[in-house]
């Protein structure tokens, strides 16, 4: 992949080249068309390693999607293509499986929770720089609950209202993400436990004034599960975000896209 410099910005196709941009940047990238045919990749012995890599990549993208879905209620706060970063995390997780053969390595987030913990949904602004008060979080795995506590906020000192909007609110998401392994029976990647365990719950505070003192907030989120004991292959993910808003046409607050930030604050 090449980067176009010195030209006026162009996108689209030009002969054997495709020009495109990505969210969060102003550079133009170029990709050349061509390469081996699909039949060669699928049948030729020379592409056996490529086939194994492609199969494993399917597992990576499935886990990356599950991780992104874990903070789906905060999706509007993303200001860059987070799925690419999550794909990279999934690949790192996959490479830690040294027992399965190449092409069938598992994706065990439950054994690599630190790779997702602290993940930022936004890059232009991060949660600690916008909400400058300590956020206390506790995940109770046995009870399948998460507790989030935010102390009173003096907005003039501890809220960075970078777009100078009149309102803000706090959004929380609590989710179960499932490990994945290769199924020879189905010839593909599957979750290692029932998909029914991959559920989430979320909370949105009322719209709050971005001026003055905001009272403390304490919220408990509980997953809608009936299982008493979660399998080890289930990882609990807690995310918190701050979203800013403006006065809508009907006189009530409405969210402003990309005006906020979010983060995976705890994985348990």
Q: Is residue 248 very low, low, confident or very high in pLDDT (cuts 50, 70, 90)?
A: very high
Question: In this predicted structure, which of 45-59, 114-128, 195-209 has the lowest mean pLDDT?
Answer: 45-59
Tell the residue number behind the tokens 């069938």, with chain if given.
104
Give start and end residues of each alpha helix (H) in the chain. 38-43, 48-69, 82-95, 127-130, 155-158
Confidence tier at 51 by pLDDT (50, 70, 90):
confident
Question: pLDDT digit string (tens) for 53-103?
Answer: 789 999 999 999 999 999 999 999 999 999 999 999 999 999 999 999 999
Please report the pLDDT score of residue 17 as a whole number: 66
Q: Is the pLDDT of residue 2 over 80?
A: no
Closest-CA residue to 223 (of 199, 239, 240) = 199
pLDDT in tens, 122-136: 999 999 999 999 999
């Amino acid at each position: 992949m090449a980067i176009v410099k010195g030209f006026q910005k162009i996108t689209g196709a030009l002969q054997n080249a495709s020009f495109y941009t990505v969210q969060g940047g102003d550079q133009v990238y170029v990709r050349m068309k061509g390469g081996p045919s699909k039949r060669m990749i699928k049948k030729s012995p020379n592409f056996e390693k490529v086939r194994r890599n492609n199969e494993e990549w399917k597992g990576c993208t499935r886990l990356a999607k599950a991780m992104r879905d874990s903070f789906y209620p905060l999706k509007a706060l993303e200001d860059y293509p987070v799925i690419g970063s999550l794909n990279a995390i999934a690949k790192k997780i996959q490479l830690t499986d040294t027992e399965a053969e190449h092409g069938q390595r598992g994706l065990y987030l439950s054994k690599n929770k630190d790779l997702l913990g602290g993940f930022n949904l936004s890059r232009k602004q991060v949660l600690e720089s916008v909400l400058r008060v300590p956020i206390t979080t506790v995940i109770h795995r046995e009870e399948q609950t998460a507790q989030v506590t935010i102390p009173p906020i003096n907005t003039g000192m501890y809220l960075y209202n970078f777009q100078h909007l009149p309102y803000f609110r706090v959004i929380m998401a609590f989710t179960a993400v499932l490990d994945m392994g290769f199924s020879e029976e189905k010839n593909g990647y599957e979750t290692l436990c029932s998909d029914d365990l991959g559920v989430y719950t979320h909370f949105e505070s009322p719209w709050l004034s971005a001026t003055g003192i905001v009272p403390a907030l304490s919220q408990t989120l509980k997953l809608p599960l009936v299982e008493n004991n979660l399998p080890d292959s289930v990882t609990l993910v807690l995310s918190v975000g701050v979203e800013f808003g403006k006065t809508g046409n009907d006189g009530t607050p409405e969210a402003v896209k990309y005006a906020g930030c979010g983060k995976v604050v705890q994985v348990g």
